[in-house]
Amino acid sequence: MSAYTEELDSVLSDWGNRVADRIKSNLDTTGTTASGRTKDSIEVVADMGELTIYGRRFFEGVETGRPAGKIPYRFQDIIRQWMDDKNIADQFGQKEWQKRNAAYLIAQKIKDSGTKLYRDGGRDDIYSNVITEMLPELEEKLTIAVKESILRDL
């Protein structure tokens, strides 16, 4: 790998890590984090002049919500766990059967109508805004890196 590619990857990696940190912060400050698994899934890879920021499956759902339709196997159990992660399970009753019943009803509502976030049209304050806001910084840093590389090679 050339010194130029290494320098480019370094600029991309640094910028990508700052983007990832802002996204993680946005997940927390918007109250979107429940278990932390989505936040923990964010990974930055810069290689050969390309940057990829990975997230868990359906990551975009933190901004778009989930549309109505087919739901995963045991979705009621997933919702029940989410209720615990968000510390809201006791709002539905003290007994486990009350909590499971609430999870079932929530799962059916999502299956029939989608999540409230989806029905409300989504949001753009988790990752979309971060990339838009931070892109000029990346352009500036890449321009500087390219100029320095050209001057060094003269």
Tens digit of pLDDT at every position of the chain (154 positions): 566 678 889 999 999 999 999 999 999 999 998 899 999 999 999 998 899 999 998 899 999 999 999 999 999 999 999 999 999 999 999 999 999 999 999 999 999 999 999 999 999 999 999 989 999 999 999 898 888 877 777 7
How much is the pTM?
0.84
CA–CA dist 99, 85 (Å, integer): 13
Report residue 43: phi and psi, to 5°: -135, 135
Opening angle at CA 9, ends 8 and 15, nearest 5: 95
Number of helices (H) and strands (E), helices first, in the chain? 7, 2
CA–CA dist 116, 80 (Å, integer): 17
